[in-house]
Amino acid sequence: MARTIASLNALGRLAEPGLLILASLCTGKKHGYALILDIEAHTAKRMGPGTLYGALARLEGLGFVEPLSVGDRGRRPYRITHAGRRAFAERLSELQAYRTMLLGLAAR
């Protein structure tokens, strides 16, 4: 499990886009533009195509997402893999623990 978190942390500056993509894909498969719209609707952040597809390529390389067959209008949907769900859950747990620690420190 530590390897999964280390792999997700290896995304470096793209860690936030990667987490947003994984979170969006947790609800089902989506093509690139649908990911952009979903992320924007829930975060008020607009992810550019370069950021999106760069992060998707990295997530695919780590085995966290997989492309599916091209669908209507030539769009290729992606889905989260079991490893991606596990990595997302581990990172979310880590962030929740960090939040708890920060709130405890701020309440002193």
What is the pTM for the complete model shown?
Answer: 0.82
Span 36-61, pLDDT tens digits? 999 999 999 899 999 999 999 999 99
Predicted local distance difference test score (pLDDT) of residue 72: 75
Pick from 81, 98, 86, 46: nearest CA to 20: 46
The four Cα atoms 58, 63, 67, 68 give a dihedral, to 10 degrees, of -170
Judged against a pLDDT cut of 60, whether residue 85 lies above it is answered with: yes
Q: Is the pLDDT of residue 94 over 50?
A: yes
> Which domains, ranges and CATH numbers included, belong to the chain?
2-106 (1.10.10.10)
Spatial distance between the Cα atoms of 95 and 81, rounded to a whole number of angstroms: 21
Return the closest-CA partner of residue 11 out of 82, 46, 62, 45. 62
Three-state SS at 46: coil
